[in-house]
């Protein structure tokens, strides 16, 4: 079984599948659900705070995405 990315616990169990048939797991310790080897990029807290500040300053999503090098929601990354 894979290790939880949140708390590094080995106490995980299978918890169904996602839309593309990849196995989903759930941690018994912290309750987090995750997919092993997920292609999603995790955005760190500092970048999230910067994005929030730029949104409050009414900057466009496309410009924020370019400035922070984070893709827009719903945009496919290849």
Q: How many CA atoms lie within 13 A of 59 on its CB side?
A: 14
Domain extents for the chain? 1-37, 41-71
Count of C-beta atoms within a 10 Å radius of residue 27: 22
How many whole angstroms separate alpha carbon 26 and alpha carbon 24? Answer: 7
Each residue's pLDDT, cut to its tens digit, for the chain (78 residues) gives 899 988 999 999 999 999 889 999 999 999 999 998 777 677 889 999 999 999 999 999 899 989 898 877 655 554
């Amino acid at each position: 079984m894979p290790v939880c990315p949140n708390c590094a616990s080995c106490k995980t169990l299978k918890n169904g599948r996602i839309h593309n048939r990849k196995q989903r797991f759930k941690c018994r310790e912290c309750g987090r659900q995750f997919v092993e080897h997920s292609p999603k990029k995790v955005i760190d807290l500092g970048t999230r705070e910067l994005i929030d500040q730029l949104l409050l300053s009414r900057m466009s999503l496309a410009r924020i995405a370019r400035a922070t090098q984070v893709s827009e929601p719903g945009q496919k990354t290849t």
